[in-house]
Structure 1
């Protein structure tokens, strides 16, 4: 296991005393686990649980062309994009950060930069803190927070780029119609 300073789990529930391993729809081959996130990627979870978001950043393998294209007009190394309709929910959603001791967790995927850790055992948080002002917490970091009417165009471009990225809860993004234009249904 790598040396990790903190592991977290974010929830809208304020009073979870124990996390129990459970099956994960996204990883049907995996035994029941408790997921946690490392400190570096914790910012990706300062959002309401179901909020779709596209997060991308410069990586060692990113081409200079992609870095210039996606970061030419900013001084940051990471950009988070969220749909406009989520702004009020981000402002109003109470969020709680649960902190775990790392001893029962292991890195989920050595090849990934996602920062996920898993435990096959029950996990008891050592601390729970309310996270106030989610937007303020996000913009205090060296990131840029952007809002857009629809995530599909940026998602498609980022996936095709050489940038590193994390796409979270995309199933909740607004759909596109056949012509690629937002159809207003969600």
Structure 2
């Protein structure tokens, strides 16, 4: 599910929203009220249940070939998303909806590279929300690796130390790092 030209998307598990009003999220790092949306490049980062912790990594023009091999692996495409096993059933059963919003009131947010688009005025969707459908299939059709790990932190550490582009979303919901109340895996992570 990607926006058409002139659109941005807002993903939600709530199919009853008729108007998006700027607000400050409880977890926000900024004090301004916004309506949040994403463009086509960032849409796959939201093909997850809202609270699902995830680590995302992708190739950039500055990515070193050794990082591509180490993080993405041979034949690994250009992008990988990782979640924890405890979220797999929720990913399989989540009912996610995409709201198509007009791009005009939105401006890019984030630097040096925008990570989202924000509006400071209420926004009405262009139509009813559309079911995103099978989130695993969405990843497959977009040629995005989806890894399921016992714990995200080793992968996160490798990604942030690499030359790949990356994002961590809802990591506060991830299992603790090993040694912080979590049990280590029984075998190698692979």
Q: Same fold (TM over 0.5)?
A: yes
Displacement of 1:30: 3.5
The secondary structure found in structure 2 opposite 1:103 is coil
Q: Tell me how far apart the structure 2 counterparts of residues 78 and 14 of structure 1 sit (CA, whole Å).
A: 29
Q: Tell me how far apart the structure 2 counterparts of residues 58 and 64 of structure 1 sit (CA, whole Å).
A: 9
Quote the residue 2:119 is aligned against. 119
> Aligned residues, how many?
180
Map 1:38-77 onto structure 2 (within 5 A).
38-77=39-78
RMSD over aligned Cα atoms: 2.0
- Residues 108 and 167 of structure 1: is their aligned pair in 2 closer, same or farther, counting only changes over 3 Å? same
- Residues 78 and 28 of structure 1: is their aligned pair in 2 closer, same or farther, counting only changes over 3 Å? closer
- Residues 26 and 60 of structure 1: is their aligned pair in 2 closer, same or farther, counting only changes over 3 Å? farther
> Which stretches in structure 2 are left out of the alignment for 5+ residues?
186-190
- Residues 81 and 25 of structure 1: is their aligned pair in 2 closer, same or farther, counting only changes over 3 Å? same
Displacement of 1:183: 6.1
TM-score by length of 2: 0.87
Moved beyond 3 Å, runs of 4+: 24-30, 179-184
TM-score by length of 1: 0.89
Quote the residue 2:79 is aligned against. 78
Residues 7-65 of structure 1 show CA distances to partners (whole Å, capped at 9, x for unaligned) of 00110101100011001345443410100011121011011000001010111111222
> Which stretches in structure 1 are left out of the alignment for 5+ residues?
none
Displacement of 1:137: 1.3
